[in-house]
Structure 1
Amino acid sequence: MMSPFIAVTLATMAILAVVVLIGRCRINPFIVLFGVSVLLALCAGMPPQKAISSFEEGAGKVLGHVATVIALGTMLGKMLAESGGADQIALTITRITGPRRVSWAMMVIGLLVGLPVFFEVGFVLLIPLAFTLARRTQTPLLMVALPMGAALSVTHAMIPPHPATLLALAAYHADTGRTILWGAVIGTPVAALAGPVYARFIAPRIGPTDEAALASQFVTDKAPTNLPPFLTTVFSILCPVLLMLVGSMADLLSHPGGTANGFLHFIGNTDIALAVATVLSFYVLGIARGFSRATILKFTNECLGPTALIMLLVGAGGGFGRELVDSGISSAITTLALGAHVPLLVLAWLLAVVVRVATGSATVAMSTASGIVGPILLHAHGVSPELMVIVTGAGSVALGPLNDAGFWQIKEYLGLTVGQTIRTWSVVETLIAVLGLLFTLLASLVA
């Protein structure tokens, strides 16, 4: 068993190496993540072949899901942009809220869209809208994208029916309805402070950023004049959300194990729901708007080019996280956290933070922490199981570490450097974690 001191030292050195090599030395991020990940595993005592295979398995597992989501989401976003659908939504939002409240509008949209979908799915669905709103209202992209991302992260971590929250519900024997209620009560102010409020503070201090490669795919210099109907465009975005929501409710709508139940789970699968919505957009935003099949094929082919680096970096982040787990570093750091004698709410939060840093995955952090603390809660008194779910979820998104695939997704989509991503997204995630803990502790006084 590796000592906690060595584990923390190796993990810290690896993260610092990634920041310096990418930010200062200007080395390709994928090369850096691959090299540092393998070197970290070797320093931790893993055999060379195991170190390489561990990276490949981690990258492959993440890409197996995320690559499909990014590809389908990018195609859907391209159709929204070329048809003028994104402009239609942008114009409608600015008419309702005004250009000065766009960041708050995006936070609300993120909270609603994020309820049934994973963070990365909601992000690829809404990022075309963020690009368009920023361009049309002359608002810094960070002012639009960070509130959206904060809202998606809050719903992912704190509000069922996300898979990790469902696992925590089972581990803590919490009531679903009360968890959703507390998640909304606590999550809304957390999203507001970590999103629009922090974005207004940090955006002017970041300075100019490079235009993301995907911006040109999602925003045209001149707004289209023949815009599709607002409801048609909104349906195109919400179609996968609705299908995933149906999938999450399949066991309530049909008998588990039956044919209908299997069909509902199938169409509610993330990849299938996005595929259905993307193909549907080819007609309602393409052929119905006068585009030929050849033009639609051209759109969907050309928009995938800029996603190549994003997919590689997301996969490399997964490989980095897998090396931390397989080398024993993650386990050693978790043991260190377990040795701390702290209140149960704080212990669940702390364990989730530790696993998040060690593995990079919010889902793994939440499921692992709840699995460890769940049996302890059975023998405790006066602690709300629902608040245990909320606080564990808050800790599971802490720090936005470099071994999180979402870190690199944010970096590349928003055209940020590593340092800028740390000052923006990593701080947003940390604010969500800390504020979530504080608000949960306050709620425990009355729960």
Structure 2
Amino acid sequence: MTSGALLLVEAAAAVAILILLIVRVRLSPFIALILVSLGLALMAGIPPGKIVKGFEAGVGGALGHIALVVGLGTILGKMMIESGGADRIADTVIRAFGERRADWAAMTVALIVGLPVFFEVGFVLLVPIILVVAQRLRQHPLRLGLPMAAGLSVVHAMVPPHPAAMLATQAYHADIGLTVLLAALIGVPTAAIAGPLYARLIVPRLGPATPAALPRDGMAMVSRPSFGITVATLLLPVVLMLIGSLGASGPMVATPMGPFLQFIGSPVVALLTAVLVSYWTLGLARGLSLDTIQRFTNECLAPTAMITLVVGVGAGFGRVLTDSGASAAIVALATQWHVPVLILTWLIAALIRVATGSATVAMATAAGIIAPIAIGSTVRPELLVIATGAGSVVFSHVNDGGFWLVKEYFGMTVLDTARSWTVCETIISITALAMTVGWSLVFSTF
């Protein structure tokens, strides 16, 4: 067996062991990724004195940027939840769409609300609203729940400043503003196909659901923020990042304003600005005290610790795959098979997603593998970010926390969850990949 083939076998074995540790042994993904990374490094023959140092470099390179994004994004999401702004968005959008198009409203709300929060946070936030509306309209809860989940999944995987998407953007040296724009152009129709359209097809074929009881503990607020104020606050970091792209690659790049625009458009500054604005628009102006806002900030950061660490060790695993030569072996194999880099990006992310059940780990690891390969490629790095995100959501199954969230909250069987949610995620993945390839052809033409 050649050294390249042996490295591929070792990498495949590492992934298989990772599945075993997470699914069968029930080991934390954080611990499992560390063990598998160190074990792979030893098997691949990396000198023991360099293993930990290289792994730490991979983890530190990711966390140095992502930890700030995770923390600031979580605070912004917490302010939206506690101020009643999320409820305001839901009420307004559903009224605007009308009851007959409530599924499209659910998707739209998820696309907006999902921008600053993780999938799990957005899901738990919106599920009570979805169940109430579905009961009022006498519809199967998944008729609205699947479009909602599809919208959250799309923005979680493809749109910065979500941590995994942000990490991929950084790894590929992609323009943040253009990434957000292309993610919207690809993500919205993708969510429409996998959400409202697929829900209308599959829900009549599902069995009855028994949703969990979800009482909402509301706060005594002076007033909820208006729809306009809430949306403006949530979209502020996105707007700032789009402005920042003008300073990096737009007409302002050669002017004295260019560096300043890049500064205010950096993800950390953009999110920090939005958090500070939210303290007023969603907090003080609504009757919250500074002590309460501080308590919210402190409370919401603790649950993000494991998510942040998993992102870091996922990047560390990617670094070990690179240092071991497995990435080079994949490149050689891909070159031999003439696999286009966009397809290879999607495929690697998809394999890791199916293996680990984590979209975040899949994006972090795939980005670490593909980034060296993509150097010199003619494919836009922004499209690589989206292709990575598309691969990271394929085929959600029993090793994915999102699978169980959907099953338990909507009270479905495992089979019905697979027929609805698993297929929905796969539709998102394949549709987004197809549209990404289409956009790459457009860019290559001009």
Displacement of 1:439 after TM fit? 5.8
Q: Structure 1 pair 437/276, CA: closer, same or farther in 2 (3 Å)?
A: closer
Structure-2 change in CA distance of 1:332 and 1:265 (3 Å): same
- The residue aligned with 2:234 is 237
117, 128, 131: which is aligned to 1:124? Answer: 117
Equivalence for 2:164? none
Partner of 1:256: 254
Q: Summarize the Cα distance change of 1:248–1:129 in structure 2 as closer, same or farther, 3 Å threshold.
A: same
Structure 2 match to 1:117? none
What is the rounded CA distance, in whole Å, between the counterparts of 1:9 and 1:89 in structure 2? 50
Structure 1 residue 286 displacement after superposition: 1.1
Q: What CA distance in whole angstroms lies between the structure 2 residues aligned with 1:335 and 1:424?
A: 32
Match for 2:295 among 298, 307, 311? 298
CA distance in 2, matches of 1:8, 1:102: 48
Change (3 A) 1:340 1:394: farther
After TM superposition, the structure 1 stretch with the greater mean CA deviation from structure 2, 42-51 or 363-372, is 363-372
Question: Does structure 2 retain, via aligned residues, the 8 Å contact 1:148–1:195?
Answer: no
Does the aligned pair in 2 maintain the 1:352–1:368 contact within 8 Å?
A: no
Aligned counterpart, 1:79: 79
- Determine if the alignment matches structure 1 residue 277 to structure 2 residue 277: no
Unaligned runs of 5+ in 2: 132-140, 161-167, 353-361, 408-413
* Cα distance change, pair 55–366 in 1 and its aligned pair in 2 (3 A): closer
- The within-5 A match list for 1:31-430 is 31-98=31-98, 104-105=104-105, 107-108=107-108, 122=115, 124=117, 130-138=123-131, 139=141, 143-151=147-155, 153=157, 189-196=189-196, 220-222=216-218, 226-250=223-247, 252=250, 254=252, 256=254, 258=256, 260-341=257-338, 347-353=340-346, 356=349, 360-361=363-364, 368=372, 370-374=374-378, 395-397=387-389, 399-400=391-392, 411=401, 423=422, 427=426, 430=429
In the superposition, the TM-score normalised over structure 2's length comes to 0.71
| Residues in 2 aligned to 1:321 and 1:166: alpha-carbon distance in whole angstroms | 14
State the superposition RMSD in angstroms: 4.7
Give the Å deviation of 1:202.
8.9
User: CA 1:16–1:268 in structure 2 vs 1: closer, same or farther (change >3 Å)?
Assistant: same
In structure 1, stretches of 5+ residues that fail to align are 114-120, 157-161, 170-175, 375-384
- For the residue of structure 2 that corresponds to 1:254, the secondary structure is coil
TM-score of the superposition, structure 1-length normalised? 0.71
Alignment of 1:7 onto 2:7: yes
- Tell me by how many angstroms 1:438 deviates: 7.6
State the AA in 2 paired with 1:282: Y
My pick for the range that moved more, 13-22 or 181-190, is 181-190
Q: How far is 1:99 from its partner?
A: 6.6
Q: Specify the alignment match of 1:30 in structure 2.
A: 30
Q: Which moved more, 1:24-33 or 1:239-248?
A: 24-33
Q: Secondary structure at the match of 2:340?
A: helix
- Matched residue, 1:431: 430
Once residues 340 and 74 of structure 1 are traced to their aligned partners in structure 2, the CA distance between those partners, rounded to angstroms, is 42
Can you list the C-alpha shifts for 1:355-409, whole angstroms capped at 9, x where unaligned?
65688446567765554543xxxxxxxxxx8xx889756644453289xxxx9xx
Change (3 A) 1:122 1:441: closer
Distance in 1 (CA, whole Å) between partners of 2:50 and 2:202 is 42
> How much does 1:249 deviate?
1.4
Give the whole-Å Cα distance in 2 for the aligned partners of 1:64 and 1:423. Answer: 33
- Using the alignment, how far apart are the partners of 1:181 and 1:66 within structure 2? 21
Residue 103 to residue 38, structure 1, CA distance change in 2 (3 Å): farther
Change over 3 Å in CA distance of 1:80–1:199 after alignment to 2: same
Equivalent AA in structure 1 for residue 130 of structure 2:
T
Find the counterpart in structure 1 of residue 356 from structure 2: none
Question: Does the 8 Å CA contact 2:58/2:312 hold for their aligned counterparts?
Answer: yes
Between the two proteins, the alignment pairs up a number of residues equal to 398
User: In the TM superposition, what is the alpha-carbon distance from 1:27 to its structure 2 partner?
Assistant: 1.6
Q: In the superposition, relative to structure 1, how do residues 142 and 188 fare at CA in structure 2: closer, same or farther (>3 Å)?
A: closer
Equivalent pair of 2:18/2:36 in contact (CA under 8 Å): yes
Q: 1:186/1:285 Cα in 2 relative to 1: closer, same or farther (>3 Å)?
A: closer
8 Å contact kept, 1:59–1:318: yes
Contact 1:33 1:317 in 2 (8 A): yes
Report the Cα distance in structure 1 between the residues aligned to 2:158 and 2:41, rounded to whole angstroms.
Answer: 32
| C-alpha distance in 2 between matches for 1:7 and 1:105 | 48
Deviation at 1:11, TM superposition (A): 2.1
In 1: Cα distance, 2:370 partner to 2:237 partner: 25
Residue 347 of structure 1 and its aligned partner are, at CA, apart by 2.3
Q: How much does 1:298 deviate? A: 0.8
Cα deviation digits, residues 143-169 of structure 1 (max 9, x gap): 52333322564567xxxxx95899789
TM-fit CA distance, 1:291: 1.2
Given that residues 209 and 416 in structure 1 are in contact (C-alpha distance below 8 angstroms), is that contact kept between their aligned partners in structure 2?
Answer: no
Q: Quick one: distance in 2 between partners of 1:133 and 1:269?
A: 29
Is the 8 Å Cα contact of residues 74 and 124 (structure 1) preserved in structure 2? Answer: yes
Q: Distance in 1 between matches of 2:62 and 2:245?
A: 22
Greater CA deviation, 276-285 or 145-154? 145-154
